[in-house]
Chain A
Amino acid sequence: MTSIGERKYKSQRRNRIITNTITYIILIIISLVWIFPFVYLVFQSFRGESTNVVSYLVPHEWTFDNYIALFDLTGRYPFMRWYLNTLMIAVISCIFQTILTLMVSYCLSRLRFRGRKGIMKMILVIGMFPGFLSMIAIYFVLRELGMVGNPVGLILVYVAGSAMGYYVVKGFFDTIPKSLDEAAMIDGATKNTIFWKIILPLSKPIVIYTILTTFVSPWGDFMMSSYLLGTNANNWTVAIGLQNWLTANNGQSLNEYFTRFCAGAVFTSIPIVIFFFILQRYYVEGVTGGAVKG
């Protein structure tokens, strides 16, 4: 004879199994939808029988040719050149953006000066406007400066607004007790020493988070670069180049370059994936570290 308690326990258990099953089914559907484009992209990049767009997923003929073609520098579309351009732009702007963001955040977190709150609010409000609102103005300004079609101009644009992303980093700095600064001050440290020797070593997660975000955004940016890098294919970044493979000749090139496009896209995502895998632990700490006091 089963007791009432046991019966109750069983029904609870049944309910839990049903809820879990439904939840997992929904999650699996969502993840399939989410993962399908990636799988499609990878499969298509290995397709050898034709270069045009097809409606099936698994290639009939497997090949590495699409990848090998990426390294061909002689053609009209030097992919590796774009790749290096992108890398250079991303690395340089990442370095500057990281330093700027960290320093600005430190100032806003630790120094008390007139207008501090005003500046913070202003940056927050300005940050709410989408970046492309200013694109035309930026284009004309850079044209006047003679920097259109020049990667330096693009780096300048990326770096210029970087301090606007101070918020997460400042939140992290705020959790570092002020008494550390004060102790260091009494020990004889200047603000500069405190920043480099006390605050930064304690902020590894947020530094890495900042490096990641500031690297990824120029790496994948299409809008700004397509506007500012002009028509010389040698100056392009990967994003513009790949887009060009699909749209050149009024879309005629689509069927010619589609598999190569897929290979390029996979190749482009590799560094980011590696980057994330190595630094994922810090990334999570960085994102959550700003919110919860450790």
Chain B
Amino acid sequence: MANLSLRHIYKVYPNGAKAVSDFNMEIEDKEFIVFVGPSGCGKSTTLRMIAGLEDITAGELFIGDRLVNDVEPKDRDIAMVFQNYALYPHMTVYDNMAFGLKLRHVPAAEIHEKIMWAAKILGIEDYLDRKPKAMSGGQRQRVALGRAILRNPKVFLLDEPLSNLDAKLRTQMRSEISKLHKQLGTTFIYVTHDQIEAMTMGSRIVVMKLGRVQQIDTPKNLYRYPNNKFVAGFIGTPQMNFFEGQLKRNKDMVEIKLDYCDDILNIPFNDLLKVNPSYLDGKKKVYIGLRCENVTVNPDVVAKATNKLKVKISHFEELGNETLIYGDLNMHGDGFTESSTRIIIKSTKTDLNLEPGDVVDAAIDIDYLHFFDKNSEDTIVPRVPTTNLFDCKVKDNQLKFLNLSLDLPEALKTPDVTDAELLVPTSAIKLGEGNIEATVKNIEVINNVKLCYLEINDRIFFTEVKEDIPVGTVVKLSIDFTQITIQKDENVIIEPLIERDALIAGLTSSATLKESDKALKDYATTTVKEYQKHLDAKEADDIRNLVVDPKIIKVYKNECKEEIARIKAEASFNLSKGDLGKEGKKKVKAQEEKDVAETKAKYDKLIAEVNQHFDVLNKRSAEEKARDDAKLKDIRDAKNAKAARADMLLSEYVKLIGTNNKFIKENSSKLTAEALAEYNKVRNAGIAAEAERTKKNKDAINAAKKNKENINNVVLLEPNDVEIDYLAKKEAYEFTLRQGYLNINGYVVAVNNDIESKMIQALSSNTFKSIYRIEVPHNAYKETTGLGLNAEVKAIIDYGFTKYLKCETLGKTIYVENNAPHGVGDILNLQIDINRCEIYENKFDIRLY
């Protein structure tokens, strides 16, 4: 009973094989999700990562609100059903089901109750004392299901649970699992390679191929709107028919020319509004997909149809209630091989009187045609289009398209051009601002995306909106010029600004400094030693705190009292028996006295031991502890002041590390020496002050001891300013010691713990060897007067509302969003806000942050 969130999940094996790449998904509570795909597509790996049986290389997995990347399988509150059932062969069904609960120390009565409940649901009550060996496959799978539902998990994982069963049993279990899902109301994640299982069971289906998600959607949408040719071919039996061809727009109609045959289809352009317009030129090759039930040879239908194909029939597959007719569009084709003219037609009419070799007309339902790009195999009719294409021309730096005429910004000034194409991504159209007017024609909701149909001059185009806008409203809109493309005959005239700059970096920390950086090495060694000292002191402190517990004396005293009471009670009971006689009574009393004395002595000894222990401890540690306590208190009080200082020190350290930087190189020795000198000054002063205060405190304690006063009442000196400063610096240095830095060829950016831990999680021992690609958004640069990435301004790109500086640094071009007055040739010092960047491992392209 929880939602799951998979964010940028990667699984990369040590040999570099990528099993899962960039898996993103939000799974709602109570959903039935099916992962489907051919073998080796990473579906099981993903499931096993959710289960915790495989490590997640990169990315984040949340179950509920809890990040579970590093949580053991047993603590993830999940249950899993395996393909081979994974029942413990040496245990009975009952024990198999009870095993997990026993390990969790559930009371036996409760276990029994739960098992009976699960057995009843699954109808295995009669088999509880059998061993798995004596059961059939279906029964075993039921036991496995029972074992899983017992614990009432948050998420239920099923790894091809039905693939070991025969066809009939599979159908039966399929509906039983669906029923179970309804009964339990838990999130189910189901892995299968069988598309029928996926379609019949899933509330949403994830289609995967080669470790990548192809499409995530409901079964209906997958069938109706496949994202690419793979999904189209994978979902549905028999497979979708694929033909090759081209589309050509003739005003209101689009002509579809099929290759290797003479057939031509005509469909209204209105049905193909969302088609990426560049495909309508009659040249680009596309795949045309058509499912077998959307084409018919039924003479009644064919007579009325406008779009027909000539099919040469080759053979039939009789399925009883329907017939699959195999044919070929090419009159020379054989209809057996899977070529781009082979066609399968499903006919529910079985008395068609056809013979192999006949040539017949087949009618096509044009509403159900699918189109895919021949190279990328992606659909060219996306449900949510990403790009609008317009015919345009540029004259006098004015962009003319539709009936609009827009001034091109300074940056995009180009020579005049006519008959060009303008590509405007849907995200570049911003409603509510600007002065272009358009009419809202329709709002379509597709999977949480609201697609807005806009019209200017009888031309429909698209954008995404957040709120509903009444149809017919006239809205104002503007176009983000940074995203547009203008091209003519495949020559790009204006290209959009790339979204992010890519910089290459390595990770370094003070521990991986080079030998040659001697000053830095010394500096690091000093800090390491300081840190070590601090750790030692802390450890000693911990040990003291562990041992000293005055409560134990009270416990001993109580125990002693109880023991004596017990002895006395026993004695009086013995005396009350009455048949002892004088001698016997005496004996009992003597025994009682002896026992009491012994007990007393025993506990006195124990208490004395503890007290002795305390004395020793007190002697040794009172002064140290008092001092440390005071110090800790002060450290907490001075927290804010310290944070500021830590920042200062950090930047100082960054300065030191960045000796590769050009600027630093020139001033390197001076700066290093200065920084070291400053540090040493503070350090020495701090140590001296600390030593002095400690000595004074010690003296005070000694004096108190001498005068037999209570040591705890002695007022100890607190650290002074110099000392606090020193302690703060010490802590800051300790922090910097552990700090990782992304070294962009000399410029160093500190990464926070979050980023660093993700790097280590993904790359473990290779963290410091790997090369990283940092993708920096244009607005994540900040100019600084201090040290930073040196970049030379090469050009200024002015989009009117904002300016971008095209800069060159380390042989790379970056675009800096910056409205300050800068000229070409200026050198900028840039700081990068690493938290807004994306970080990738460069070699395997793993997104780390």
Contact = CB atoms under 8 A, between A and B. Distances in A.
B191 to A, nearest CB: 13
A188 B51 contact: no
Contacts of A188: 74, 100, 103-104
Contacts of B104: 188
A193 B80 contact: no
B574 interface: no
Given A182-B53, A182-B82, A187 B90 contact: no
A58 interface: no
B40 interface: no
B73 interface: yes
A177 B90 contact: no
B316 interface: no
A179 B99 contact: no
A177 B103 contact: no
A177 B74 contact: no
Interface in B62-113: 72-74, 78-80, 82-84, 86-90, 99-100, 103-104
Nearest to B88: A198
A179 B88 contact: no
A187 B147 CA distance: 9
A196 to B, nearest CB: 12
Interface in A192-241: 193, 197-198, 201-202
Contacts of A185: 52-53, 72-74
A197 B95 CA distance: 12
Contacts of A184: 88, 99
B84 A187 contact: no
Given A187-B99, A188-B100, A193-B103, A182 B86 contact: yes
Contact of A186 (B78, B88, B90): B78
Given A193-B103, A201-B90, A202-B90, A186 B74 contact: yes
B101 to A, nearest CB: 8
A189 B103 contact: yes
Contacts of A189: 74, 99, 103
Contact of B82 (A183, A197, A198, A202): A183
Nearest to B104: A188
B100 A187 contact: yes
Contacts of A197: 99
A180 interface: yes
A202 B133 CA distance: 13
Contacts of B103: 187-189, 193
Interface in B217-265: none
A177 B86 contact: yes
B239 to A, nearest CB: 32
Contacts of B73: 182, 185-186
B80 A182 contact: yes
Contacts of B74: 185-189
Contacts of B79: 186
Interface residues of B, number: 22
B102 to A, nearest CB: 9
A217 to B, nearest CB: 29
A188 B74 CA distance: 5
A194 to B, nearest CB: 10
A177 to B, nearest CB: 6
Contacts of B78: 186
Instruction: Select the residue from A183, A188, A189 with max chain B CB neighbours within 10 A.
Output: A183
A208 to B, nearest CB: 15
Contacts of B84: 177, 179
B764 to A, nearest CB: 11
A189 B100 CA distance: 8
A179 to B, nearest CB: 4
A294 B690 CA distance: 73
Instruction: Select the residue from A177, A180, A186, A201 with max chain B CB neighbours within 10 A.
Output: A186
Given A185-B74, A187-B74, A187-B103, A179 B90 contact: no
B12 to A, nearest CB: 16
Contacts of A187: 74, 99-100, 103, 147
Interface in B39-65: 51-53
A278 B666 CA distance: 87
A83 B508 CA distance: 67
B160 to A, nearest CB: 11
B51 A186 contact: yes
Contacts of B87: 183
A182 B144 CA distance: 13
Nearest to B100: A187
A179 B53 CA distance: 10
A186 B80 contact: yes
Contacts of A186: 51-53, 73-74, 78-80, 100
A97 B103 CA distance: 29
Interface string A170-185: 0000000101101111
Instruction: Select the residue from B52, B87, B99 with max chain A CB neighbours within 10 A.
Output: B99
A179 B80 CA distance: 10
A193 B72 CA distance: 15
A177 B73 CA distance: 18
B312 to A, nearest CB: 51
Interface string B141-164: 000000100000000000000000
A202 B131 CA distance: 13
Interface string B100-136: 1001100000000000000000000000000000000
A227 to B, nearest CB: 43
Interface in B451-468: none
B53 A180 contact: no
A202 B89 contact: yes
B361 to A, nearest CB: 55
Contacts of A193: 103
B123 to A, nearest CB: 22
Nearest to B76: A186
Nearest to B97: A187
A198 to B, nearest CB: 6
B83 A179 contact: yes
Nearest to A180: B86
A197 B91 CA distance: 10
Contacts of B72: 185
A188 B102 CA distance: 9
A34 B183 CA distance: 70
A248 to B, nearest CB: 53
B89 A179 contact: no
Contacts of B83: 179
A17 B79 CA distance: 63
B821 to A, nearest CB: 57
Given A184-B99, A186-B52, 10 more contacts: A179-B83, A183-B86, A184-B88, A185-B74, A186-B51, A186-B53, A186-B79, A186-B80, A187-B147, A202-B90
Interface of B: 51-53, 72-74, 78-80, 82-84, 86-90, 99-100, 103-104, 147
27 contacts: A179-B82, A179-B84, A179-B86, A182-B51, A182-B53, A182-B82, A182-B86, A183-B82, A183-B86, A183-B147, A184-B88, A184-B99, A185-B52, A185-B53, A185-B73, A185-B74, A186-B73, A186-B74, A186-B100, A187-B99, A187-B100, A187-B103, A188-B100, A188-B104, A189-B99, A197-B99, A202-B90
Nearest first, the 4 closest Cβ-Cβ pairs linking A and B are: A187-B100, A183-B86, A188-B74, A179-B86
